[in-house]
Amino acid sequence: MGRLFGTDGVRGVANADLTAEMALGLSVAAAHVLAEAGTFKGHRPVAVVGRDPRASGEFLEAAVVAGLASAGVDVLRVGVLPTPAVAYLTGALGADLGVMLSASHNPMPDNGIKFFARGGHKLADELEDRIERTYREHASGEPWDRPTGAGVGRVKEYDEGFDKYVAHLVGVLPNRLDGLKVVIDGAHGAAARVSPEAFARAGAEVVTIATEPDGLNINDGCGSTHLAGLRAAVVEHGADLGVAHDGDADRCLAVDAAGEEVDGDQILSVLALGMKEAGTLRGNTVVATVMSNLGFKLAMEREGVELLQTAVGDRYVLEEMKRGGYSLGGEQSGHVIVLDHATTGDGTLTGLMLAARVAATGRPLAELAGVMRRLPQVLVNVRDVDKTRVSSSARLATAVNEAEKELGETGRVLLRSSGTEPLVRVMVEAADLEQARAVAQRLADEVKSALG
C-alpha cells in the first residue's frame, strides 16, 4: 500500500481516489495527532479551512469541516482563497491548523488536501506519517474518542480573510507599481479575485484573463501550465508584463512585454539581485532545486550569489531555507518563497515583487531577466510506468551514465519520479537543443521499456 502523502499533501481524482470519507477521516486523524503532539495544549483548538474553486472542493470542504468539528476543533471557513492565503491566515489568526483543498496545477477532476501547522508552515514528514498511520488504523474499524455537548467544534465563516490577505501582500512591497500595465492570468483558480485586486491596490493598471472560475474550468488551457493566452494578451494590450498563476496560486510564471516566457529560475534571478542590492538576501544565498537550469547557476556565480540546491519539491527548498536562515528560494516551475513575508510559495506575492522590481528600476522585464541565459532543457513525462523503481533500476543507471558521458560538461541528466503525479520525469540539458531532445527521448524510451 503506497504512502498517501506526496510532496504536496494528499492528491487524487476527487470522489474516486480522494473521497469524502477519506477527507473526513484524515481531518479527524490530523486533529488527534496534533492534540497528542501538544499543539492544542491548554486551549480550544482552531483551524482555518480554504479551497480552490473546483466543484469537488465543495463536498470535500464539507467533509473536512465535519471531521475537524467532530474532533472538537473550531473551524474558520475562509472560502475560495489561494493556498498561501490559508497559510498566512493560519499564522496571522493564531490558528493551530490550516487545511487547503486543492490539486494546484492538476486538471479539474483531481483534488487534494494540504495541512499547515501553527504559524502557517507545512507539516513535518513525521507528523504526516503519524496522521496517515492514525487514519488507516481508524479506517479499519477502531473507534474514535469523540467529544460531545459543548466539546464539539463550532463552525464560522471568516469573510475578512480576503481583505486581510490582500492588505498583507500590498503592505510588504518595497515600492508601488504606478505606471505599470500588467496582465494577470488567474487560471480560473483560487487567485482569480485576489491577484487582480492586489495588483490594482498596489497601483498597477490591470488586465485580466481566466478570472471567471465556474468550478469546472480551473487550469483548462490557461494559467502557468498554458501560457499562450497570456503571451497573446500582453502583446495585444501593450502591457509591461504578464503573470500567470496555477490553480491554487502558490506559483507564478511571467511573460515580458514581447510575450516571451520568464520562468521560475529567471524570476529568482531578478529577485535575488534586487534583494542583494537592498541588503535583504540573507547569507547572500538563494536556494533552488536540482531541476534549476544550469544557466541559473552560472548567472548566480557571475553575480556573486551563492546557490544551494535541494531535492525537487518546495518543501525541501523551505527546509533548507529554514535550516540556513535564508530569505529567498524556489523552483523553476514558479514556486518562489520569500521567507520574510510568506511561509510557503506565494504566486501573487512573487508576481507583485517581480513587478515592483520593474517599476523600481525602470528597466523592462526582458532586460532584467536577461541576467541569465537559459540553456536548452528538455523535459519528458513518461506515464504508465512503475515510478517506485526509478532509483533501483541498474539498467536506467547505466543509460543515464552513458548519456552524461555523451553530454560532457555542457549538459546534465536528471531522472526522477513525480511526487504528485503517476509518472517519471526525464530532464536533459545540453548546449544544443536537438541533442537535448534526442538524449531525452532515448532515455524516455528506456524508462518505458525498463519500468513499463
Binding-site residues for Mg(2+) sit at 104, 246, 248, 250
**Amino acid, single-letter form, for residue 137:** E
Handedness of CA 231, 174, 364, 374 (dihedral sign): negative
Looking at the DSSP assignment, which residues form a beta bridge with residue 261?
255
**Distance between CA atoms of 431 and 434, rounded to whole angstroms?**
9
Pick from 444, 375, 387, 451: nearest CA to 416: 387
Alpha helix (H) residue ranges in 145-242:
161-171, 194-201, 228-237
Q: What is the DSSP letter of 361?
A: H
In whole angstroms, give the CA distance from residue 132 to residue 26: 7
* DSSP assigned state of 123: P
Does the annotation mark 104 as catalytic? yes
Distance, CA of 452 to chain centre: 29
* DSSP-derived 3-state class of residue 387: helix
Q: Across the beta sheet with 285-289, what order do the strands follow?
A: 306-310, 285-289, 328-330, 336-338
Cell of 317: 527548498
Q: Spell out where 325-370 has E strands.
A: 328-330, 336-338
Catalytic residue among 27, 56, 102, 104: 104
Cα–Cα distance measured from residue 226 to residue 213, given in angstroms and rounded to the nearest whole number:
16
- Report the relative pairing of strands 377-383 and 328-330 from DSSP bridges: unpaired
- In whole angstroms, what separates CA 303 from the centre of its chain? 27
**Which residues are known to be catalytic?**
104
